[in-house]
Amino acid sequence: MNKILSLLSIVTILSAQSLEWSNDYNKTIREAEKEHKTVLMMYHASWCPECGYMKEVVFHDLKLQEYMTKHFKLLAFDITKDKDKLPKGYSFLGVPTFFFISDQGKMITEFEGSGNAKEFLKKIKGIK
Amino acid sequence: MIRFASTFFILLSLSQAYDKQDLYELKTEHECKMCDLSGADLRGFDLIRVDLSESNLSGANFSGMDARKINFSNADLTDANFSGATIKGCKFVAATLHHVDFSNTRAWATNFIDAKIDRCNFSNAALGGAKFENNNLINSDFNNTLLWKATFTNVKGKPKIN
């Protein structure tokens, strides 16, 4: 019984870390076009506690993960470390900022800030 | 009738006690240290990164506005209203924060070191990464406040971390 419980908790931990973020803009847009998905691009920074909260808490919510994986191609840039990689045309005031980009590479909408998993899911639902 | 009218105008002038020159300075120079902006309605002003240290901001209205990275060090913010505002990265070092409404604010990484906090409303605010040091939080409301990675050093009445 204990072994099963440990196995279950390992599976839970692994699945909670399963969001995969690319940091190759062009490749992600090409993949989005193939898969007819919207790109969710996050600008974040290691010094930003609000970004840390999103990455360490909110994005560990399984329901949210499931929705994000199903509907979006995920792209993320650290605005400090990836400074030279930031794609042109996406202005921002602060981080975290989330951009939603069509499979044709056109921006659909964007918003800044965090929220709990439920709030974030509500915000991103319906963005296509 | 005359008495009523004069009382009304006295009350009106008291509620708008700010220095008009200081308000003009804030608008034009984007800085206003040691200013008298008491009772001013600052909604609609561009205040991002403004230095308002040592200013009198008692009763000032910042509600719903983007007021990030403002320096409020040593300012008097008694009865000020920040409800629903974005105040990320603001410094409230040694500020007087009596009966301030911080409810529903996005107050990530705010600095409250040595702030004189009394009867403040932090309910439903996001105070992740905020720094509290040498404060008395006993009479303040932290109902449903997000305190992820907030730090509390030498604080009386530390709220429950959620």
Q: Which pLDDT value is given to residue B136?
A: 98
Chain A residue with minimal CA distance to B148? A53
Mean pLDDT highest for which of A5-19, A23-37, B12-26?
A: A23-37
- Coil, strand, or helix at residue A78? strand
Say how many CA atoms lie within 13 Å of A127 toward its Cβ.
25
Cα B57 to its chain centre, rounded Å, is 8
Q: How many other C-beta atoms lie within 10 A of the C-beta of residue A117? A: 18
For residue A76, what is the DSSP state?
E
Residue in B66, B68, B108 closest to A49 by CB: B108
Mean pLDDT of all residues in B6-20 = 62
What pLDDT digit, counting tens, does each position of B44-96 carry? 999 999 999 999 999 999 999 999 999 999 999 999 999 999 999 999 999 99
Say if residues A108 and A127 touch (Cβ distance below 8 Å).
yes
Mean pLDDT of chain A: 89
Best B108, B145, B149, B151 residue to mutate vs chain A (most A CBs within 10 Å): B108
What pLDDT digit, counting tens, does each position of A91-125 carry? 999 999 999 999 999 999 999 998 899 999 999 99
Burial class (CB within 10 angstroms; exposed 0-12, middle 13-18, buried 19+) of B105: buried
Question: Quick one: what percent of chain B has pLDDT higher than 70?
Answer: 90
DSSP string, B130-152: -EEES-B-TTSB-TT-B-TT-EE
Contacts of A58 in chain B (CB under 8 A): none
Question: Quick one: what percent of chain A has pLDDT higher than 90?
Answer: 80
Whole-angstrom distance, CA of residue A82 vs CA of residue A74: 16
Query: How much is the ipTM here?
Result: 0.82
CB contact under 8 Å between B108 and A52, yes or no, is: no
Tracing tokens 């996406």 back to the chain, one arrives at: A90
- Closest CA of chain A from B111, distance in Å: 13
CB contact under 8 Å between B149 and A52, yes or no, is: yes
- Closest CA of chain A from B16, distance in Å: 32
Whole-angstrom distance, CA of residue A50 vs CA of residue B67: 16
Q: Which pLDDT value is given to residue B160?
A: 86
Mean pLDDT of all residues in B116-125 = 98
Contacts of A50 in chain B (CB under 8 A): 88, 106, 108-109, 126, 128-129
Mean pLDDT of all residues in B8-36 = 80
Q: What is the CA radius of gyration of chain B?
A: 16
Say if residues B158 and B138 touch (Cβ distance below 8 Å).
no
What pLDDT digit, counting tens, does each position of A51-97 carry? 999 999 999 999 999 999 999 999 999 999 999 999 999 999 999 99
CB contact under 8 Å between A49 and B149, yes or no, is: yes
Residue B147 clears pLDDT 70, i.e. is over it:
yes
What pLDDT digit, counting tens, does each position of A14-55 carry? 444 579 999 999 999 999 999 999 999 999 999 999 999 999
Residue B29 clears pLDDT 60, i.e. is over it:
yes
Whole-angstrom distance, CA of residue A121 vs CA of residue A56: 16
Q: What is the pTM of this model?
A: 0.86
Q: How many other C-beta atoms lie within 10 A of the C-beta of residue A43? A: 23
Question: Quick one: what percent of chain A has pLDDT higher than 70?
Answer: 87
Residue B107 clears pLDDT 60, i.e. is over it:
yes
